[in-house]
Amino acid sequence: MKKSLRTSVLAMRDMLGIEERCQKSTLIKEMLFGLNEFHSSSNILFYVATKSEVQTEDMIRQAIKQGKRALVPITDAENKRLLISELHDFDLELEKGAYGILEPTKIYQRLVPLDEVEMIIVPGVVFDLHGHRIGYGGGYYDRMLESIGQNKGTKACLIGVCFECQLVDTIPIEKHDMPVSRIITEERVIMWRRDI
């Protein structure tokens, strides 16, 4: 079920044209930057978008300009986990890493512990109206989110970003799945009251 849902929603997302995707990503960015939680967060983990995902480059650039500590993931494929690094310059410090996704080059890696992160912008292929997600199948974000759920000392606001075409009523979940506390699309912000 998850695999077929992932395939069909990815196909729909891939059909969005570049201009439409950029316009919708801008609307999502504006809603994100309007959240009280965003204003009160200093250390924000963004993903670096690839292919037809909600574009995050402008979000990252603007966050840096606003004096936020913009963080991005580094894929540690050997240990199947994400490391977190502070980013100062989007143009200078990134190169293609694992899976062809931009991440900081070795000389610009400034590792940050997960417990310093106040907000995580979570990518996904499919989100449901309860805050659950289906990713790409590698489990990298699932493992990171699960560790947040297990560490009661970590308080991070989890924000899922996606296009409306990626939203479904419900998806199959497993016991360890960690829902996000907000989903932002180009049309709305969906919120739940959750203590993470």
Q: What are phi and psi of 156, to 5 degrees?
A: -130, 135
Annotated binding-site residue? 97: no
Annotated binding-site residue? 149: no
Angle (deg, nearest 10), helices 57-65 and 18-34: 40
Residues 6+ apart with CB under 8 A from 20: none
Annotated binding-site residue? 34: no
Annotated binding-site residue? 17: no
Annotated binding-site residue? 53: yes
Annotated binding-site residue? 20: no
Distance CA 102, CA 136 (A): 16
Strands of 126-128's sheet in order across:
133-134, 126-128, 167-168
Annotated binding-site residue? 137: yes
**Pair 47, 180: CB distance under 8 Å:** no
Residues 6+ apart with CB under 8 A from 160: 122, 124, 127, 131, 133, 180, 182, 183, 184
Annotated binding-site residue? 193: no
Annotated binding-site residue? 110: no
Residues 6+ apart with CB under 8 A from 195: none
Annotated binding-site residue? 189: no
Strands 69-76, 81-86: pairing kind: antiparallel
Annotated binding-site residue? 87: no
Annotated binding-site residue? 29: no
The binding site comprises: 2-6, 48, 53, 133-141
The binding site for substrate comprises: 48, 53
The binding site for ATP comprises: 2-6, 133-141
